[in-house]
Amino acid sequence: MTSIGFLYPGYSAEDEYPAMERLLAASGRAVALPLVHTLMREDAHRVDALRDIGGEDVLGEGAATLRARGVDAAVWACTSGSFVFGWDGATAQVDGVRAAAAAPASSTSFAFVNAVRHLGLKRVAVAATYPQDVADRFVAFLGAADIEVVSLSCRGIVTAAEVGTLGRDEVLAFVASNDHADAEAVLVPDTALHTVEWLTELEERLGKPVLTANQVSVWEGLRLVGVTEPRAGLGALFAKG
151 and 127 Cβ atoms separated by less than 8 Å: no
The pLDDT score that the predictor gives to residue 164 is 87
The pLDDT score that the predictor gives to residue 76 is 98
Q: In the Cβ-directed half-sphere of 121, how many Cα atoms lie within 13 Å?
A: 27
Element (H, E) at 142: helix 132-144
The pLDDT score that the predictor gives to residue 50 is 86
Domain ranges of the chain: 4-240
Which residue from 50, 4, 78, 28 is spatially nearest to 231, judged by alpha carbons?
28
Over its length of 241 residues, how does the chain's per-residue pLDDT go in tens digits? 899 999 999 999 999 999 999 999 988 788 999 999 999 998 878 888 889 899 999 999 999 999 999 999 999 999 999 999 999 999 999 999 999 999 999 999 999 999 999 999 999 999 999 999 999 999 999 999 999 999 998 988 888 888 989 999 999 999 999 999 999 999 999 999 999 999 999 999 999 999 999 999 999 999 999 998 898 889 999 998 7
The pLDDT score that the predictor gives to residue 161 is 87
* Cβ neighbours of residue 109 closer than 8 Å, sequence gap 6 or more: 79, 82, 83, 90, 138, 141, 189
Please check whether the domain covering 4-240 is classified as CATH 3.40.50.12500. Answer: yes
The pLDDT score that the predictor gives to residue 1 is 87
* Cβ neighbours of residue 226 closer than 8 Å, sequence gap 6 or more: none
